[in-house]
C-alpha cells in the first residue's frame, strides 16, 4: 500500500466557493499523488438523493472525483450524517467504492478502524434515535419518493432544528463516548481508529485491555482548516490539505 490520505467533513455546497476551490485543488495536487483517498463522511453539506446529480455543482464535484479515480487513485467514500442518502448512482458515477461504517483496513503496518464518528456519540440519545430512524430502509424509501424540491426543504428545516438543538446541548454530550470507542476497537481487534464528525481534530492515546491505542480525529474544513491524515509505510500524521 502506498500513501493513503484520509479526509472528512468537507461539507461541500455551492454556497461555499472557497472550500470548493480548496477541495478541487486538493484532488488535483495531493490526492493525485496518493495511492488511495478515504473520505470518511460529510463530503457534502447535504445530499437529497442521487437525482440531484444533475445539479451543476454536484456534477462538477462528481466529475472531479471520477477523474481522480480514473487516474488510478483508489477512491473510497463513507456515508456521513449529512450525506447518507448517496446511493448506487452516485458511487457508480463518481468511481468511488462505498465504505461501510465502520470499516477495517490494513495500513501503516497494521489495522486501522475507520468510522464517520456519529455512531460513537452515544450520550446524545436524541440524535441516536434520529439516526436509527433515517438510516432505516423504509424511511429512506418513503423520503426519496417525495419530489426533490420537497426533500431539500425538509433537509433545510432539519438543519435549522439541529443547529438550534446544538445550542441547548452540553458540548460533552455531542462528543464521542470513550466506552463506545473502546468497544468498537475491541470488536474489530484494532488499536488505531480514524474518524471525523466531532470537528475536534487531534490524536488521543489510551489503553484498552492492556493494549496501547490511538484515536485520530479529522476536523471540519470550515472550522479547523483543511486538515487530512497521511499514512505511508509505518508513519501516520496530519498534513495540510491546502498545500
pLDDT at 58: 98
pLDDT of residue 197: 95
In the predicted model, is pLDDT for residue 190 greater than 90? yes
For residue 145, how many other CB atoms are within 10 A of its CB? 9
Contact between 6 and 117 under an 8 Å Cβ cutoff? The reply is no
Q: Residues of the chain with pLDDT > 70: what percent?
A: 98
> Which residues does 155 contact at the CB level (< 8 Å), separation at least 6?
46, 48
pLDDT higher for 225 or 239? 239
Q: In the prediction, which pLDDT does 166 show?
A: 74
C-alpha radius of gyration, the chain, whole number? 17
Q: At what angle do helices 137-144 and 125-134 cross, to 10 degrees?
A: 70
**Residue 65 pLDDT:** 98
pLDDT at 199 over 80: yes
**Structure pTM?**
0.95
Least trusted range by pLDDT, from 130-134, 156-160, 176-180, 191-195: 156-160
Q: In this structure, which long-range contacts are made by residues 124-127, counting pairs with CB atoms below 8 Å and at least 24 apart in sequence?
A: 124/169, 124/173, 124/174, 126/165, 127/174
- pLDDT attached to residue 1: 64
Q: Interhelix angle for 56-70 vs 17-28, to 10°?
A: 10
Sign of the dihedral defined by the CA atoms of residues 87, 92, 96, 97, in that order: positive
- Give the CATH number for residue 24: 3.60.21.10
Whether the predicted pLDDT of 16 surpasses 80:
yes
Give pLDDT, residue 96: 98
pLDDT in tens, 67-116: 999 999 999 999 999 999 999 999 999 999 999 999 999 998 889 999 99
- For 39-64, what is each residue's pLDDT tens digit? 999 999 999 999 999 999 999 999 99
Domain count, the chain: 1
- Cα(65)–Cα(83) distance, integer angstroms: 16
In this prediction, residue 174 carries a pLDDT of 76
167 pLDDT tier (thresholds 50, 70, 90): confident
Q: By residue range, what is the domain housing residue 15?
A: 4-240
Q: What is the arithmetic mean of pLDDT over 2-17? A: 95
pLDDT at 21 over 80: yes
pLDDT of residue 109: 85
Q: Check residue 102 and give its pLDDT.
A: 98
Predicted confidence band of residue 168 (pLDDT cuts 50, 70, 90): low
Length of the chain: 243
Q: Is the pLDDT confidence value at 181 over 70?
A: yes
Amino acid at each position: 500500500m502506498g500513501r493513503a490520505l484520509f479526509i472528512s467533513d468537507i461539507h461541500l455546497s455551492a454556497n461555499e466557493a472557497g472550500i470548493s476551490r480548496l477541495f478541487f485543488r486538493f484532488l488535483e495536487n495531493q490526492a493525485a499523488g496518493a495511492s488511495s483517498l478515504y473520505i470518511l463522511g460529510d463530503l457534502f453539506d447535504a445530499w437529497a438523493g442521487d437525482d440531484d446529480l444533475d445539479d451543476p455543482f454536484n456534477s462538477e464535484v462528481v466529475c472531479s472525483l471520477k477523474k481522480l479515480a480514473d487516474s488510478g487513485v483508489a477512491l473510497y467514500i463513507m456515508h456521513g450524517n449529512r450525506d447518507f442518502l448517496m446511493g448506487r448512482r452516485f458511487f457508480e458515477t463518481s468511481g468511488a467504492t462505498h465504505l461501510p461504517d465502520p470499516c477495517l483496513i490494513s495500513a501503516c503496518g497494521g489495522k486501522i478502524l475507520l468510522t464517520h464518528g456519529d455512531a460513537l456519540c452515544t450520550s446524545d440519545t436524541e440524535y441516536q434515535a434520529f439516526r436509527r430512524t433515517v438510516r432505516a430502509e423504509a424511511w429512506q424509501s418513503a423520503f426519496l419518493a417525495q419530489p426533490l424540491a420537497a426533500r431539500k426543504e425538509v433537509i433545510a428545516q432539519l438543519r435549522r432544528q439541529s443547529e438550534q438543538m446544538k445550542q441547548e446541548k452540553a458540548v460533552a454530550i455531542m462528543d464521542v463516548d470513550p466506552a463506545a470507542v473502546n468497544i468498537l476497537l475491541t470488536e474489530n481487534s484494532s488499536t488505531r481508529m480514524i474518524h471525523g464528525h466531532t470537528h475536534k481534530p487531534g490524536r488521543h492515546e489510551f489503553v484498552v485491555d492492556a493494549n496501547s491505542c490511538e484515536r485520530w480525529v479529522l476536523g471540519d474544513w470550515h472550522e479547523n482548516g483543511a486538515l487530512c491524515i497521511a499514512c505511508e509505510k509505518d508513519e501516520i500524521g496530519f498534513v495540510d490539505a491546502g498545500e
